[in-house]
Structures are given as C-alpha cells and as structure tokens.
Amino acid sequence: MDEPPEQVPELHPERTTHPFADLTQEPGAAPVKRARTKRKLNVPYARAGDPVPVVTPKGDLRRHAAIDYDLNPQSTHWVVLALKSATPGLHFLTHQYRREWLRPDVIAGLAVAAYLIPQVMAYTAIVRVPPVYGLYTALVALVVYALMGSSRILSVGPESTIALLAGTAIAGLAPDPGAIVALSAAMSLLVGGWLLLARLFRLGVMADLLSQPLLVGYLAGAAVLMVVGQLGKLTGTSVEGESIIAQARSFLDVVGATHLTTLYVALGTAAFIFVLHWIKPSWPGALLAVAGATIASALLDLEAKGVAVVGSVPNGLPLPQWPAVTMDQLQALLLPALSVAVLAYSDNMLGARAFPSPEIPGERPSERAVDPQVELVALGGVHVAVGAFGGFPVSSSGSRTALALSAGAKSQVYSLVAAGCVLAVLLVAGPLMAKLPQAALGAVVLYAATKLVKGGEFRRMWRFRKREVLLALVTLVGTIVLGLIVGIGVAIAISLLEMAQRLARPRDAVLGRVPDLPGMHDTADYPSAETLPGLIIYRYEAPLFFANVGDLRRRVQRVVDKEFAGYPDAPPRWFLFNVEATTEVDVTACDGLRDLYADLAAQGVRLGLVRLRQDLYIPLRKAGVMKLIGDDMVFPTLPVAEEAYVAWARAHPAPPPPTLAPVTEDEE
C-alpha cells in the first residue's frame, strides 16, 4: 500500500517568529531565544593610502572600496547604437585621438593631397567626366570614410581600376558627356546598394578568401601596373592601351621619342625622394619633391620647354542631387555595378590587410584589425554619398596609403587634411597647381609602387612552403597579364582549389602509446610508439564529404593490409575511427562509411567510433550508420576505448593461426 504523501508544515500568517526560525518547536510555544555571539572576521579594512597588494603580512585580505557595477544600466536608444556602430572612425577620432599625432597627420595629409589632386583629375579622363568631378569624388570619399571606416590608415577615393571598370560599363550607354556624369553617379549609388545588401546578408566573409600569398602577389602585380601606367608621364611620350601588354607595346614604339627634359624632371624628383627617405625617413619626401618640382617648373618655365604640367583646375563646390537617369539605364547598370562592388570591396580589404593601422602602445593586435562587415557598411556609405554628389565609383588606393604611411600618418585625420586641401583647391588654390609637372607625379607613383613589393614576404613563404610562393607568383602574373579583376578571380579560384585539395587529401595517423609520454600520438612521429595487438586506432584530419570519403576507404584498407602483413599472428580485430577532427559529414560520406563497415566486416574486423560528438552522431544515426556500428562500439575517449578492447579481447580470445602440415617426401 502506498504511503501517504509527506505533509509540508503550514506557515501561519500570525506567526511572529523569523521565517527561518526553528520549525521543530511545538506550536504555540514561546519562541526560543538564541544567544547572539559576536563573530569577528579576520578581514581588516583598507585605509586610505594603503599600498598594493591588499594582503597583510599575516596573509589576510584587505577590503577595498566597492565600485559601481552598473547593475541597472540605462538602455541606449537603437538609433544611437546604430549610428555608433556605423561610424567607428568618428568614435576613434573623438575618443582616442592623441594630440601628438596631429603634426605627422597634417604632414601626411599635405603629401597625400599633393599626389591625390592631380591623380584624381587624371582618372576622370578614364570615366570621361569633367576633371572637377574627380575632386568632388575625392572630397566626399575622404570625409565619409574617415567617419565610417574601421581602418585608421586606408586612403579611399578614386582608383584607376575601378574608374576603368566604371568607364567601360558607361561608355556604351551614353555618348553625351552630360549623361555620363549622371550615369557614373547612378552607378555609385548602385554599388553602394549592393554593398549594403551584402552587409545585410553578412557576406563580408568573402574577404577571408584573400590569403596571404594572394595579397603579396596582388600588391606586386599592382605595383607593376602602376609603374607601366606612368611610363608616358615619366618620358613625355604618349602611351596608349588599356591592358599592360598593350601599354608596354605602345611604349616600346614611342620610347625613341622620349622628351629628355621631362625624363630629367622625373629622374630628379624620384632621386630626391629616395635619397631623402634614406637620409631622413621621417621627413615628407614626396611633399618636398612635388613642391620643389612645382617651383622649378615656374622659375624655369618648363611648360614652354615641352614639359607637361597639370594645368588649370576648375573652381566650385558640388551640391547633392539625384542623378537624372532612366529605369532602363539603371537596369543596364545593375550587373556592372555588382562587378564593381565586388572588386572595390576586395581591393579595399586587400589594402586594409596590406597596410595595418599604426600600432598604439598598449593596443591589442586584434583592435587594429579591420572588420569586414563594418567595411561593407563604410564602403557602401561612401558610394551612396559620392553618388549623391555626382561622383564615380571609388576604392582604396594602395599608392596613396603607402605614401601616407611613409609620411608618418597615424590616423584618418590625414584624410581630413587632404580633403581640406581638395576643398581649398576647389575654392581658391587651383592656380597653384597649374605649374606642377606631370613627370613629378609619375615619380611619386614610382616611389609609392616600390612600397608595394614585399620581397621579404616572398622569402618567408619560400622558407615556409614553396607552394605558397607559386600561388603568389600566379596571382602576380594573373594581375599583370589579365588585369586586376581577372587576376584576383584566378587567385581566389586557385586558393579555393588548394583548400579543396587539402580537404580532399588531408593528413591521417595511426595512434599509439609512447613510453614515458602521456596520451596517444601519431606512430609516424615517434619510432618508439606501441600499439595493442589486434587494435588499430586511426584518425582522419578533415570533415568527411563526397570528395574524400573514397580516399578514406583506400587509406583505411592500406592500414589494415599493413597490419595483417606486419602481424600475421595477431591480425587486426578492431578498427577504431577517431572522429575528433571530423567536424562535418554529408550523405555521400555516410554511404562511404557503410561501405567501409562492410569491407572491414568481410575481413573479420569490427568498426568503432571514438570521440563522437552529438552534432556528428545525429546525421550518422539518420543515415543508418549507427545502426550498423552499434552504440556498444562508440567510445567517449581513447583510454576508455582501449580498456573496452582489452576486456573484449580477454572474453573473445583470438583463434590460433592455422598451422601447415609438414610436407613429406612422397608429397614432393
């Protein structure tokens, strides 16, 4: 008969005793008075001025003042949180900027502006818009990225490859120059929309496809493209062609007509920069060289002697407006804008990784890393703003970033200084740039290109693994021969193929015990390793999928054959598959495991699993693999698996090997 449930004592509301009083006393009895004893805690209080540490000579801890733990924080409005997350650059400038950085930032900003202004004006010829729109684009991009970007050093603005892509896409849509301005602005808005859409779906992970060899090869190829693109300015000749091969052929055809005065200006400017950087690396060599070349051009009247100069710079400020384009034109720009967005973002992330922000004392390396998702928002915001002011698509500039670093830039304040210079040129200072020789600008580009070639990285990768150098060289050649877009695509494809090859043919190991060394280890690493007779513990270091399950079966059979041949008196009886490195499995791999079970069973070998996690157990159970193997052949750890095998082997002794009868003379 079931016992009655335990009665819970009723707590009466009229009760006057403490809720935690002794409930064992009789109802209605007078409350028991308990004597109060003072218990002295041996924890002294810290007095003002007590030194650290807070431990007394007797080993007692001192109390210190309680802090405000903000247990009930006031919630911040979501608009404020969104604005803060979208403007990391503004937060850094307002909360972490140091006054001692102002001087190097100003110098770097002036140096970048001296290089940027004529450069972006030249890029407008690629897009076929008036030169003033290059200044508009640079002004807006510099300011917006300084506020929204997560890189403290990257220079964002007009870039030759992106300008070429945009110009090629627009060329067939509007022969009228006025319409080209509207189309370029519309493309910028579409690029910004694609980038913000990518952020919505968190597609910033595609930046992880850009490996270090790809980065090194890409920068070296970009340096070659930069130098070849400046050959005409350096020699005073007319070099034509869109590809580097066409430009090289064109240069070889006209090299005999080199204008010597222009060449002297270029060589003198370049020599001045390199020598000054060698003697005084902290001085703004590019800025001084450009200023000197401009003064010399004005005093010697180099323009009259055939040296090309920048010429007049138009004045004026842009006003935001919606580009006047039709719906058909927008639809025609959608796919080209997507390709521009992919390349601009890839270029931006490559530049961010190639030029990390200057280190701040006490800062963690991870705090200097660029967030790919934040960069999607930043670059998208830059393109939306640029499009609103009539500009064309932009990206990061490796040459300007390298120039800023060489000039000592510490933060995006240098971009704001450069933007201020652009604004001054647009308002009043245009005539000052008129005498600047184009050859001097080419020399600055030549100097910046040398900063992109990282010979030390090639040597480091050669010592590490020759295949890394091969990938870098393929990227370099692809970038030079096929162009930046195809070159990056080829490099990413090779990186993916290499990753797939590593997953399809990963490392494996047979595990054993090593004397005087805890744990189980790869027997190939330790010649003194030992295994239990009849037991094979095998590890395959990759997720299992359709591309490698066949390789797994072949390797397992080879190991089993080796065990049969090596120990014919103690053949394998258990094959335990250590799946700690198997993080994923697909249905093809599950079918392969079923076939592996059948192959081993036909040879009298039992298949088991070790270190099986729940997220791998579930798909194996759904595919019927666990029904074949059985839960009794699944073990949580390697020692447990060894103990289970030893107990099973004692209960199931191996049959003695067959003995062959001696051959008699008659049988012979």
Specify the pLDDT at position 25.
Answer: 47
Phi then psi dihedrals of residue 504, to 5 deg = -75, -25
Place of tokens 């604004």: 423
Average pLDDT, the chain: 82
Angle at 444 between CA 441 and CA 448, to 5 degrees: 140
Rounded to whole angstroms, how far apart are CA atoms 242 and 412? 33
Residue 668 in this model has a pLDDT that exceeds 60: no
For residue range 425-459, what is the model confidence (pLDDT) as tens digits? Answer: 888 866 777 788 888 878 877 887 787 788 888 88
Query: The tokens 């877009």 sit on which residue?
Result: 485
Q: Domains (ranges, CATH) in the chain?
A: 99-206+224-359+385-452 (no CATH), 505-651 (3.30.750.24)
Kind and range of the H or E element at 549? helix 549-566
Predicted confidence (pLDDT) per residue in 114-168, tens digit = 878 877 876 776 787 887 888 999 999 999 999 999 999 999 999 877 887 788 7
> Which pair of structure tokens corresponds to residue 453?
């070639």
DSSP 535: E
pLDDT at 318: 75
Residue 540: closest CA among 592, 572, 573, 503: 503
More confident of the two residues 246 and 599: 599
How many CB atoms are closer than 10 A to CB 180?
22
Q: What is the pLDDT of residues 617-667, one digit of tens each?
A: 999 999 999 999 999 999 999 999 999 999 999 998 877 766 555 555 554
CA neighbours closer than 13 Å in the CB half-sphere of residue 537: 29
Q: How many CA atoms lie within 13 A of 54 on its CB side?
A: 12
The 10s digit of each residue's pLDDT in 318-362 is 788 889 888 988 999 998 898 889 878 988 887 887 788 888 877
Longest dimension (CA), the chain: 120
pLDDT at 360: 80
Q: Which residues pair with 45 in a beta bridge?
A: 63
**Residue 521 DSSP one-character state:** E
Res. 15: pLDDT tops 80: no
Amino acid at 62: R
